[in-house]
Structure 1
Amino acid sequence: MKTVIRMLLVATALAVLSACSTFSDTGRDEYARSQGKDPAASADEASPSEKPEPPYDVRPLLKPAKKYFGVAADGAPAKMTAIESFAKSAGKKPNLVEFYSAWGDRYESRLVQNSWDYGALSFIAWEPFKVSLKEIAAGKEDAYLRDYASSVKELNLPVAISFAHEMNGFWYEWGTKKATAKEFVAAWKHVHDVFDEVGATQVIWVWSPNIITPMPKVKLEPYWPGDGYVDWVGVIGYYAATGPSTYATLFEPTMAQIRGFTKKPFIIAETAAQAGERKPTDIKDLFRGTAQRDDVIGFVWFNFDKETDWRIESGPLSKKTFREQSVNGAFGFDVAKP
């Protein structure tokens, strides 16, 4: 489990503008021009079977007209069998596939390609285990960072990356017990800036705090790197047997606090409902709440049987309810032509 629920259950061409982040609209345009490309050309002209011209323009994916229908599933996307099984149960193909990568792992180009070939955008939760945020911010990991960013650039497919998620919690090495908000921001900005220098503009940057319920005294604004460094705000929270049990009580207090310092779009970066009688109601609540908010662009369902059975297949009524809700036309779209 990637959330506090477990506690409950136990100088390349990219130096084009000194005053503008490469990942801003202006910066992405400038980089495209430096590569001899027309920034006005639409990224949706390429089909999944065609290799898009570099650099891939991720901007159409940032605020799509419809919502992401995402999943994280055991063994995926190294193998897509779990995704295919989920799609069969859900009655709809997911268009966002999340997986987890430890700091030091190479960029999993094959996994990103697997997702894209299936018709889904990859979403990587990049976890800085066995390295401190101070070391990252100080540049001690730059060789690895540059290699990773170069691989992203070389593959030239869009990818969402969430660095050091749930930083406002205490259960990770980069969390509140071992790192400060200032150290987190410094590390985040440094990682982003190295990608900027390398020219890996194919990244959608996802800033992902845990919901504030378990640690209400930890304010989120000190952890905010700034609008120029973030594309999506990924909120992480689960419908557990105890605690908040509605969209309004589970997610919206956190969203309200975040709206005090940014208007970036939300995505529910990780969620699921604990098996039990309430699960069908929780599933309906998730779909309804996400559909009703224009500033929430989708969700990722954690479809694992881990510490408890979060899968939509945990019971026949849960599966039936999820399938009924997924029919909603607001969810799902072609990521190659958003």
Structure 2
Amino acid sequence: MVRRSPFGRPVPQLRIRRPRILLLTVLALALVSALGFVAAGSDDSGGGAGAGPFPSLFPSLAPRPAPTGTAVAQVDRKAVVHPDGLLFGVSTPKGPNQAETDEVAAAAGERPTVQEYFVKWNEEFDPDTVERSYELGAVPLLTWEPWAGGDQNVDQPQYALRRITSGAHDGYLTRFAQGVKAQGQPVVLRFAHEMNADWYPWAQGRNGNRAGDYVAAWRHVHDLFRDEGVTNVVWFWCPDAVGDSEADPAGYYPGHDYVDWIGTDAYSTGDESAERTLQATYDALTAIADKPIFIGETSVKPGEHRTDWTSELFVWLRSHPKVIGFCWFQHNKEGRGRYDWRFTTSADSQRAFSTGLATQRLADWPLRAAS
């Protein structure tokens, strides 16, 4: 389980089809191996300095841009809540970003259909970011953090949960809600994630937060959006994966009428399998509610288990159909990562990811609702 410290107009793209990209990947890998450009071995390579956001293992596979002038698809909220296929999400340092998305798509063999990014409560709603996500062919997943940021600065009493419930931030919340409503497209809103851990200001015990305060704050925010007539939000409740110090998430659940997705953030820092990382939390979540499950953040620390863990993740996903999607945390130490979480740090881990992703029944863009 990770102990992270808190930290301080593209055109639409067509989805890459698997057979072509897998064939190209194999041919490219064989070619560069023969020329000696890909070193055999270690899964701890970590990428090279100055290589940009992701190592360019397969630069020739960058997807071609779609023709200009393609209209951005209007997506039905129901198709986000219950998609007809697995959602492949990604969080990148500058995301939603055209170049970063193209690199992920080239390495993964598929374009992501979810783009996750982070917004603090000293930042206003930005409709351009939502539009950019849709132009890239992905639903925006906005992780909305009630604090002003700052590395390890969890003492921010101005954002105490009781202040949120009391209406101290209603002016900001109203502006944000009106912005989401005016933008029109569905937005997945992940409010105050990992609340059952202790490293954020909204954790129980921080800033005077008491048992029950989190649920009350969530309901207050949800109800304010409802009163503003906002109908295009997908409410995503996302505790941290159950571990040694994380509390049982059940006590933080806002209630069935207040949540559309449930899920978790789950990283491996040494687990041999994804099942070991995810299964206990999956069991806890399904005991709480019968809701679509989305893995809000996931990855595996570089090391001897990285390739096997990555491969096993996709086996685990296929055997758990309640899980409708996942978001890979494509960040390194220079970004938001405690470790280099990118699946592109070596040829082995990249191959495990793209091969595993190709086994999934992925959602097409624009999204359609499950029948």
**Contact 1:94 1:332 (8 Å CA) reproduced:** no
Give the C-alpha shift of residue 281 in structure 1.
Answer: 0.6
**Unaligned stretches of 5+ residues in structure 1:** 8-47
2:319 pairs, out of 277, 287, 292, with: 292
SS at match of 1:151: helix
**Contact 1:161 1:205 (8 Å CA) reproduced:** yes
Equivalence for 2:293: 266
**Contact 2:86 2:360 (8 Å CA) reproduced:** no
**1:254 equivalent in alignment to 2:281:** yes
After TM superposition, the runs of 4+ consecutive aligned structure 1 residues lying more than 3 A away are 335-338
SS at match of 2:309: helix
**Contact 1:125 1:161 (8 Å CA) reproduced:** yes
Equivalence for 2:237: 207
Equivalence for 2:176: 148
* TM-score, with length taken from structure 2: 0.74
* TM-score, with length taken from structure 1: 0.81
Q: Could you tell which deviates more after superposition, 115-124 or 130-139?
A: 130-139
Equivalence for 1:59: 78
**1:169 equivalent in alignment to 2:197:** yes
Equivalence for 2:255: 226
Q: Equivalences for 1:176-195 in 2 at 5 Å?
A: 176-178=204-206, 179-195=209-225
SS at match of 2:344: helix
Give the C-alpha shift of residue 331 in structure 1.
Answer: 2.5
Tell me the distance in 1 between the aligned counterparts of 2:258 and 2:103. Answer: 36
Equivalence for 1:93: 111
Tell me the distance in 2 between the aligned counterparts of 1:112 and 1:279. Answer: 32
Q: Equivalences for 1:70-81 in 2 at 5 Å?
A: 70-77=89-96, 79-81=97-99
SS at match of 2:122: coil
CA displacement, residues 271-321 of structure 1 (integer Å, 9 cap, x when unaligned):
011112211111111111112111100110000112321101111111111
2:340 pairs, out of 271, 290, 309, with: 309
**Contact 1:210 1:236 (8 Å CA) reproduced:** yes
SS at match of 1:6: coil
Tell me the distance in 2 between the aligned counterparts of 1:276 and 1:332. Answer: 31
Structure 2 vs 1, CA of residues 314 and 181 (structure 1 numbering), >3 Å: closer, same or farther? farther
**Contact 1:107 1:151 (8 Å CA) reproduced:** yes
Q: What is the letter of the counterpart of residue 320 of structure 2?
A: R
**Contact 1:61 1:335 (8 Å CA) reproduced:** no
Specify the structure having the higher radius of gyration (Cα): 2
Tell me the distance in 1 between the aligned counterparts of 2:139 and 2:320. Answer: 22
Structure 2 vs 1, CA of residues 82 and 181 (structure 1 numbering), >3 Å: closer, same or farther? farther
Q: What is the letter of the counterpart of residue 172 of structure 1?
A: Y
Aligned residue pair count: 289
Tell me the distance in 2 between the aligned counterparts of 1:322 and 1:71. Answer: 13
Q: What is the letter of the counterpart of residue 3 of structure 2?
A: I
Q: What is the letter of the counterpart of residue 69 of structure 1?
A: F
**1:318 equivalent in alignment to 2:349:** yes
Q: Equivalences for 1:273-284 in 2 at 5 Å?
A: 273-284=300-311
**Contact 2:214 2:252 (8 Å CA) reproduced:** yes
1:68 pairs, out of 83, 87, 107, with: 87
SS at match of 1:251: helix
The percent identity for this pair of structures is 30
Q: Could you tell which deviates more after superposition, 247-256 or 96-105?
A: 247-256
Equivalence for 1:111: 129
* Aligned residues: CA RMSD: 1.8
**Contact 1:125 1:164 (8 Å CA) reproduced:** yes
**Unaligned stretches of 5+ residues in structure 2:** 6-69, 148-155
Give the C-alpha shift of residue 80 in structure 1.
Answer: 2.2
Give the C-alpha shift of residue 260 in structure 1.
Answer: 2.2
Structure 2 vs 1, CA of residues 316 and 172 (structure 1 numbering), >3 Å: closer, same or farther? same
Q: Equivalences for 1:27-46 in 2 at 5 Å?
A: none
